[in-house]
Homo-oligomer: A and B are copies of this chain.
Amino acid sequence: MPGLIKKMMPRQDSFFTVFSAMGNNVHLSAKALLEMLMDFSNPQAGAEKVKDIEHENDVLMHNLMTKLNQTFITPFDREDIHELASEMDDVIDLIDAAAGRLVIYRVDRVRTGVTDLAQVLLEATAEVAAAVRVLQKRDGILDHCIEINRLENEADRLCRTLIAGLFDQEKDPVEIIKWKEIIEVLEFATDKCEDVANVIESVTLKSA
């Protein structure tokens, strides 16, 4: 095959490799956050661990965009590739935002129930990682999407319960400000996992 044509041919698998690595980062960042919440002895170290993953994903994101701009034929719509990568990056940014706030708000004790919400988020990110891992072969990909939707509904219900409880039990307005935001950021991260699932579902149906 002549060199030029070869260059223009898709190296489709490498897009999928980057997506897998990003899905893995999504999952690892949620794992680092949950560990930080479960053993809150050194939140600074926990937040730094999440931040490292966030930086690493920024590099992946930047390389993917460069690659996307320089590739002639892509394995699926350019817009969908961009959106899928952006949404995964957003999940990590939100997990990093939650971890960062636990530090700058000088939280000294994790409120009951917040760890449960981070656990649901971890499960949703595990499904995100699993879904992007089978993006090329598509085996059972829609089942992962359905499961992400179910977990998002669970996170939504849990978030409402936690916020209602916060306003019922907490008398210090400053504590309400801090925890309301941390809880909402965690719920928003799960929302973003659902956005990832929606892009994956759309990509899968288009080429069905």
- Residue A70 is within 8 A (CB to CB) of chain B in the complex: yes
Give bound CA distance, A70 to B202, whole Å: 10
Interface SS, A side: helix
- Residue A2 is within 8 A (CB to CB) of chain B in the complex: no
User: Nearest-CB distance from A156 to chain B (Å)?
Assistant: 10
Interface residues of A, CB < 8 Å — how many? 26
- Residue A73 is within 8 A (CB to CB) of chain B in the complex: no
- Residue A178 is within 8 A (CB to CB) of chain B in the complex: yes
Give bound CA distance, A30 to B85, whole Å: 31
Known contacts A176-B174, A177-B176; is-contact A205 B104 (Cβ 8 Å): no
Decide: A202 and B65 in contact? CB cutoff 8 A: yes
In the bound complex, residues from chain B placing their C-beta under 8 Å from that of A164 are: 104-106
- Residue A66 is within 8 A (CB to CB) of chain B in the complex: yes
- Residue A180 is within 8 A (CB to CB) of chain B in the complex: yes
Interface string of A159-185 (1 = CB under 8 A from B): 010011001100001101110100000
Residues on A facing B (Cβ under 8 Å): 65-66, 69-70, 79, 100, 104-106, 160, 163-164, 167-168, 173-174, 176-178, 180, 198, 201-202, 205-206, 208
Interface pairs (13), CB distance under 8 Å? A65-B198, A65-B201, A65-B202, A65-B205, A69-B206, A70-B205, A70-B208, A79-B79, A100-B160, A105-B167, A167-B178, A174-B176, A176-B177
